[in-house]
Amino acid sequence: MNEITSAIQLIPLEHYIVLSVTLFSIGMMGVLFRRNIIAILMCLELMFNSANLLLAAFSAYHSDPSGQVFVFFIMIVAAAEVAVGLSIVVMMKRNVESVDINLLNRLKW
């Protein structure tokens, strides 16, 4: 099987780290940047995935499948989160006719 080359033999782990940090920062910037809740949720997905990528990379570099199982679990959580989050968006749209996050300003009460 050795003829199947793997990225891990060529690419240093640091590159994956930088890539995943970049994606995470972009996702976070998007969360702060946008007013549309749907877009914010998408940016959250982006952040999830950057963490996933890092987990998978570490898993490969360690030759340990546990990391990939963790990615699997994160997907589960992400799916549940999206389901609930989107239903909240639907409800909000139904109630205030908008998905603008600035309308959610009652958190001080």
Partner 1 sequence: MPEAGWDYAKQTTNQKLNQVIMVFLFYFLSAIMVISALLVVFSKSPINNVIYLIICFIAMAGHYILLNAQFLAVVHIIVYTGAIMVLFLFVIMLLNLNKAIIPQKSAVTRIMAVVTGGIFFLVLIAATRQTFVINPRYAFTSEIGLVANVGKTLFHEFLLPFEISSVLFISAMVGAVMFGKRDHAVGDD
Partner 2 sequence: MVEQIPNINLAWLVPAFPLLGFLVTGLANKRLKHNQAGIIASAMVLLSFLVSLVLFFVLRASGQNEATVTLFNWISIGGMNIPFAFLIDHLSLTMMLIITGVGALIHIYSIGYMHDDGRVNSFFAQMNLFTFSMLLLVMGANYLVLFIGWEGVGLCSYLLIGFWFKNPAYNYAARKAFVMNRIGDLGFILGIIVLFFTFKTVTFSEIFSQAAGFQAGAPVITLITLLLLVGAVGKSAQIPLFTWLPDAMAGPTPVSALIHAATMVTAGIYMIARSSILYNLAPFTLNIIIVIGLATAIIAALIGLKQNDIKKVLAYSTVSQLGYMFLALGLGAYSAGVFHVTTHAFFKALLFLGAGSVIHAMGGEQDIRKMGGLRKKMPLTYFTFLAATLAISGIPPFSGFFSKDLILSKAFEHSIILYILALGGALITCFYMFRLLYLVFFGEQRLAGAHPHESPKVMTIPLIILSVLSVFGGFLNIPSLFNGDSKFITFLQTAVVSKASEELSHSTEIGLILGSLLLLGLVIFFAYRTFVSKSIIPAKDEEPMPFFSKLISNKFYIDEMYTAVFEKPFGFLSDFFYNKVENTVLDPAVDEIGVTTARVGALLRKLQQGNMSFYLFAMVAGILLFIIFILIV
**Closest CB to partner 1 among residues 2, 109:** 2
Q: Is 18 in the site for partner 1 (CB under 8 A)?
A: yes
Contact present, 99 and 89 (Cβ < 8 Å)? yes
**Closest CB to partner 1 among residues 95, 107:** 95
97's torsion region: left (phi>0), alpha (psi -120 to 50) or beta?
Answer: left
Q: Is 104 in the site for partner 1 (CB under 8 A)?
A: no
User: How near is the Cβ of 28 to partner 1 at its closest, in Å?
Assistant: 6
* Contacts with 19 (C-beta within 8 Å, 6 or more apart), sequence order: 50, 53
By CB under 8 A, what part of segment 31-60 binds partner 1?
Answer: 32-36, 38-39, 41-43, 45-46, 49, 52-53, 56-57, 59-60
CA distance linking residue 23 with residue 30, whole number of Å = 10
